[in-house]
C-alpha cells in the first residue's frame, strides 16, 4: 500500500510540476491552476495531459532519472508539444500515434540537452519542444490521415458543445466587459503560452502567476509592455501581437530574468532593455521560419535567454547583477535567501582560522592600526594581555617576565605544514626595539596553496616544531616573546598568500571567537577589532552531544494538550553531503551545519506549522558552549517567517527596498546537574517597530535534547522527546 501511495505522489508531482515549470515555478498548486487553464480548450488540455502521462510511463519504462521527472524537467517540453498538437490537429488514431512518437522524440532531446548543457549551467528552455513540434508539423503534410483542426474558428459552437446555452450566455456576458486593448492582449498572450486563445485562460494564468510571485508578475508586465511599446514606437508589426499573441515571448523572457538573476532595480531594467532584442528577433525569425509555413512559437525567448545566461556567466565581474546560485524556482525566495545569506555568511571562509592562543587576550593593534598596521600592511593583528587597569605587566615591569603574555603558548591557528622558521633573534630588553630585524623570530604555516599564517615576535629557542612538520589546529608552536620590532611582549598575527616572512597580509576572518564584555558576544567569520578582549570558544561536551545528529538517528517528539502533535525526525545526508533533519509525516526538511563550535540551520523546506519548523526557529544558531552570558545574534529570512498580506505587499517592493526583517538571538544557561537550558527568540520587525516576538526554550542533558517549548501569542507548546 505504501508503494502505491508513493507512486501516486510521484505521478501527481510529475504532472503538476510539468505545468508549473513552464512559468519557472516548482509549486504544485500553480501547476493545478495552469492545468485547469489549459482545459479552457479541452482538446489542447486533454492532449497536453496525455503527453505528460505517456512520458511518465516512458521514464519508468526506460529507467530514467525519476527526480528530474518529478520536478518537471522532463515534462514541460512534452506538455508544450501535447498542447500544440491538440490545437493544430483533429483527434484520431494517427494523432495519438504521432503524439506518442513526438513525446518520445521530445524526451530524447530533453535528456540529451540536459546532459550537454548542465556542465555549463546553460538552460535549454523550450528547444526540445520546438524541434519536435516543427518536425511533426512538417511531416504531417505527407500524412493524409492527419487533418488540421478548425477549432478556434467557430468559438461559439465549441462553447455550446462544452457547456450548452449556459456557457454561451456566460461568454456573451464576459464579452461585454470592454478591456483596454493593451490589457486584453497581455492576458491573451499569457493564455497563448499554454496554447489557449481565450481571455478566461489568460485571467486564470495571471491570477496564478500573481499568487505564485509578485516579482514574477510585475516582471511579466514590465517585459510585455516594454516590448509592446517598442513595437508601437517603431511602427513594427503590432498586428502580430494582436492577432497571434506572440508577445508571450516578452512575458517568458521577463520571467526568466526574474528566475536567473537576483531581483533588483538592475534586473528590472535588464528585463525592459531586452525587449527590443526579443522584438527584432521575433520579426527576423518570422520572415525566415514563415517561409516554411511554421510558427516561431517560443524560439525568440529561448535564444535571447540562452545567449544572455551564457554572456553573464562569462563576465569578469558578476557583482553588479548577481545571478542565482541556489535556485528556489521563486524570485522572492531567491532574493530573500541571497540577502539573508549575504549577511549570515558574508565573510565565511573554507579554511577555519582560530585565534593562536589560550585564554583571554587583548587586540592591542587591529586592522588599520595607527602604529604599524598601515597601507599594504593594514590587515594584521597584535595581541597582548592587559589587566583591569589596562596595564600589560605586573609591577615593577622592568623584566620581560613581568609581562602577562610573555612565555605563554602560541598555537597553530589551523592545520598545515611548517614552511618557515626564524629562530636567531635575541629578545629585546623592556623598552628597546630591534628595527633591523623587524619581524623577530617567526613561524610561517602553509594551510593551502595560497593561504599561509605568520606569527612573529616569538621567544627565541621556544619552538616546539621544526620546518616540514605537520601541525593540527591548536598545536603548541612556541612561546610569546619580545624579538624584533617589539617594544614589549606581544604576538603579531597575519594571514598571507605566500610563504615569505615579509609577505603582505590578507584580509581574512577569524572563524569563531568570543568578544568579552558585559554580555559576551559570539562572533563567526569576523575581524577582531582593536581594543577588544577576545578568546577561543570551547565547546561544552553535554551541549555538543545534544546537537551531534548522526545520519540514521531518529528522534520522536510529542506534545500534550487538546490537539496533541507527534513527529518523528530522521537525520539524513543528501547527495551533496549536506546534513538535514527530515520529518516524513509533514514532508519537511531542515538543513543544518555542526562544525563542533556552533550549530546552525541553513534552509527549511516544507510545512511551517510542523514541530520541525518550530525547532528550526528555536535552534536557528547556537554556540555549543556555556560561557556565562554569551549571546548569539543572527538574521532570519523574510521568506517563511513573515506571512499574510504584509509579506504579499512587501514582495512588490523587495527588489528595491526591504522594510520587513527577522532577527534571532540565543543564549545557553547551565541549570545544574549537567543540564542546560537554551533560551532563544525570533523577532519580526516592520522597519524599526517590532511586530511579533516568538520565544523558545530547549532543555538538554547528557542523553540529548529533552524537550523544547514555544511561547507565541500567549500560547505555549511543549514538545517532549518520546
Please state the rounded mean pLDDT for residues 83-106.
91
pLDDT digits (tens, 9 = 90+) for 98-135: 999 999 999 999 999 999 998 889 999 999 999 999 99
Q: Rounded to whole angstroms, how far apart are CA atoms 513 and 538?
A: 10
Q: How confident is the model at residue 715 (pLDDT cuts 50, 70, 90)?
A: confident
- Distances from the Cα of 393 to the Cα of 383, 488, 532, 635, angstroms: 14, 10, 18, 41
> 574 and 712 share a domain?
yes
CATH code of the domain containing 132: 1.10.3430.10
Query: Would you say residue 671 has pLDDT above 80?
Result: no
Whether 263 is covered by a domain: the verdict is yes
- What are the two backbone dihedrals, phi and then psi, of residue 183, each rounded to the nearest 5 degrees? -70, -45
**Considering the domain boundaries, does residue 625 fall inside one?**
yes
Q: What angle do CA 670, 676, 682 make, to 5 degrees?
A: 105
CB distance 605 to 589 below 8 Å: yes
Residues 294 and 428 in one domain: no
| 355 falls within a domain | no
pLDDT of residue 605: 87
Instruction: Give CA 341 to chain center in angstroms.
Output: 8
Using one digit for the tens of pLDDT, what is the confidence trace for 182-241?
A: 888 899 899 999 998 888 899 999 999 999 999 999 999 999 999 988 888 887 666 666
Task: Please report the pLDDT score of residue 146 as a whole number.
Answer: 67
| Contact present, 206 and 190 (Cβ < 8 Å) | yes
CB 204, CB 216: distance < 8 Å = no
Q: What angle do CA 116, 121, 124 make, to 5 degrees?
A: 60
- Give residue 1's pLDDT: 33
End-to-end CA distance of the chain, in Å? 27
Are 68 and 157 contained in the same domain?
yes
- Identify the band that residue 607 occupies on the pLDDT scale cut at 50, 70 and 90: confident
Q: Are 159 and 227 within one domain?
A: no
Q: What is the CATH number of the domain that holds 503?
A: 2.70.70.10
Judge if 577 and 501 occupy the same domain.
no
Q: How many CB atoms lie within 10 A of CB 435?
A: 7
Q: Name the one residue in this structure whose C-alpha cell is 455550446.
A: 160
Say if residue 321 is in the same domain as residue 373.
Answer: no
Q: Average pLDDT of 630-649? A: 83
pLDDT of 168 reads 58
User: Does residue 499 sit in the same domain as residue 556?
Assistant: no
Residue where a domain terminates, one of 177, 198, 227:
177
Global pTM value: 0.82
Alpha-carbon dihedral angle through residues 46, 52, 54, 56, given to the nearest 10 degrees: -150
Structural domains of the chain, count: 4
Residues 47 and 164 in one domain: yes
Task: Give the range of the structural domain holding residue 622, as residue numbers without chain letter.
Answer: 541-721
pLDDT, one tens digit per residue, over 51-73 is 999 999 999 899 999 899 999 99
Q: What is the mean pLDDT of the chain?
A: 88
Amino acid at each position: 500500500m505504501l508503494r502505491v501511495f508513493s507512486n501516486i505522489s510521484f505521478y501527481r508531482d510529475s504532472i503538476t510540476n510539468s505545468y508549473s515549470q513552464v512559468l519557472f515555478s516548482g509549486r504544485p498548486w500553480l501547476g493545478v491552476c495552469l492545468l485547469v487553464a489549459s482545459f479552457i480548450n479541452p482538446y489542447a488540455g486533454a492532449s497536453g495531459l496525455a503527453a505528460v502521462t505517456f512520458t511518465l510511463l516512458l521514464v519508468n519504462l526506460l529507467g530514467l532519472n525519476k527526480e528530474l521527472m518529478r520536478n518537471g524537467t522532463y515534462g514541460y517540453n512534452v506538455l508544450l508539444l501535447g498542447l500544440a498538437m491538440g490545437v493544430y490537429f483533429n483527434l484520431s488514431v494517427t494523432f495519438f500515434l504521432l503524439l506518442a512518437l513526438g513525446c518520445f522524440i521530445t524526451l530524447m532531446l530533453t535528456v540529451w540537452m540536459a546532459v550537454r548543457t548542465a556542465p555549463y549551467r546553460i538552460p535549454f528552455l523550450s528547444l526540445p519542444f520546438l524541434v519536435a513540434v516543427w518536425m511533426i508539423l512538417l511531416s504531417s503534410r505527407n500524412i493524409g490521415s492527419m487533418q488540421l483542426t478548425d477549432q478556434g474558428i467557430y468559438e461559439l459552437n465549441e462553447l455550446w458543445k462544452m457547456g450548452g446555452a449556459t456557457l454561451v450566455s456566460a461568454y456573451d456576458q464576459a464579452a461585454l466587459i470592454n478591456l483596454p486593448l493593451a490589457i486584453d492582449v497581455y492576458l491573451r498572450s499569457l493564455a497563448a503560452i499554454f496554447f489557449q486563445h481565450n481571455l478566461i485562460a489568460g485571467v486564470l494564468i495571471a491570477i496564478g502567476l500573481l499568487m505564485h510571485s509578485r516579482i514574477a508578475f510585475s516582471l511579466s508586465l514590465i517585459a510585455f509592455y516594454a516590448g509592446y511599446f517598442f513595437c508601437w514606437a517603431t511602427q513594427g508589426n503590432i498586428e502580430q501581437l494582436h492577432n497571434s499573441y506572440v508577445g508571450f515571448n516578452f512575458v517568458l523572457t521577463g520571467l526568466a530574468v526574474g528566475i536567473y538573476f537576483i531581483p533588483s532595480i538592475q534586473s528590472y531594467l535588464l528585463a525592459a532593455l531586452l525587449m527590443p532584442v526579443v522584438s527584432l528577433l521575433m520579426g527576423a525569425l518570422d520572415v525566415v521560419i514563415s517561409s516554411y509555413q511554421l510558427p516561431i512559437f517560443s524560439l525568440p525567448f529561448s535564444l535571447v535567454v540562452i545567449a544572455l545566461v551564457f554572456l553573464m556567466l562569462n563576465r569578469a565581474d558578476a557583482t553588479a547583477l548577481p545571478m542565482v546560485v541556489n535556485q528556489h524556482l521563486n524570485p522572492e525566495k531567491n532574493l530573500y535567501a541571497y540577502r539573508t545569506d549575504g549577511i549570515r555568511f558574508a565573510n565565511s571562509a573554507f579554511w577555519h582560522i582560530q585565534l593562536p592562543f589560550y585564554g583571554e587576550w587583548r587586540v592591542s593593534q587591529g586592522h588599520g592600526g595607527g602604529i604599524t598596521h598601515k597601507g599594504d600592511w593594514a590587515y594584521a593583528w597584535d595581541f597582548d594581555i592587559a589587566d583591569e587597569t589596562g596595564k600589560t605587566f605586573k609591577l615593577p615591569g622592568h623584566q620581560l617576565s613581568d609581562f602577562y603574555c610573555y612565555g605563554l603558548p602560541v598555537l597553530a591557528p589551523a592545520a598545515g605544514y611548517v614552511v618557515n622558521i626564524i629562530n636567531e633573534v635575541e629578545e629585546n630588553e623592556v623598552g628597546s626595539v630591534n628595527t633591523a630585524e623587524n619581524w623577530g623570530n617567526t613561524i610561517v604555516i602553509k594551510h593551502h596553496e595560497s593561504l599561509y599564517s605568520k606569527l612573529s615576535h616569538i621567544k627565541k629557542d621556544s619552538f616546539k616544531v621544526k620546518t616540514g612538520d605537520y601541525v593540527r589546529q591548536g598545536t603548541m608552536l612556541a612561546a610569546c616573546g619580545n624579538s624584533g620590532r617589539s617594544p614589549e611582549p606581544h604576538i603579531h598575527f597575519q594571514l598571507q598568500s605566500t610563504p615569505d616572512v615579509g609577505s603582505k597580509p590578507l584580509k581574512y576572518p577569524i572563524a569563531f571567537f568570543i568578544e568579552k564584555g558585559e554580555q559576551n558576544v559570539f562572533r563567526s567569520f569576523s575581524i577582531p577589532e582593536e581594543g577588544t578582549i577576545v578568546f577561543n570558544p570551547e565547546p561544552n561536551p553535554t551541549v555538543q552531544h545534544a546537537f551531534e545528529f548522526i545520519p540514521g538517528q531518529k528522534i520522536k517528539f510529542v506534545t500534550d494538550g487538546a490537539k496533541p502533535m507527534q513527529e518523528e525526525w530522521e537525520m539524513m545526508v543528501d547527495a551533496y553531503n549536506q546534513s538535514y533533519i527530515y520529518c516524513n509525516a509533514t514532508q519537511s526538511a531542515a538543513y543544518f551545519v555542526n562544525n563542533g563550535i556552533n550549530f546552525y540551520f541553513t534552509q527549511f523546506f516544507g510545512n511551517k506549522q510542523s514541530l520541525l519548523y518550530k525547532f528550526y526557529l528555536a535552534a536557528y544558531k547556537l554556540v555549543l558552549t556555556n560561557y556565562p552570558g554569551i549571546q548569539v545574534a543572527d538574521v532570519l529570512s523574510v521568506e517563511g517567517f513573515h506571512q499574510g498580506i504584509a509579506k504579499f505587499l512587501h514582495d512588490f517592493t523587495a527588489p528595491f527596498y526591504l522594510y520587513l526583517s527577522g532577527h534571532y538571538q540565543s543564549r545557553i544557561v547551565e541549570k545544574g546537574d549537567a543540564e542546560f537550558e537554551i533560551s532563544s527568540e525570533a523577532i519580526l520587525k516592520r522597519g524599526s517597530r517590532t511586530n511579533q516576538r516568538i520565544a523558545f526554550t530547549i532543555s538538554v542533558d547528557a542523553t540529548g535534547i529533552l524537550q523544547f517549548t514555544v511561547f507565541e501569542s500567549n500560547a505555549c507548546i511543549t514538545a517532549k522527546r518520546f
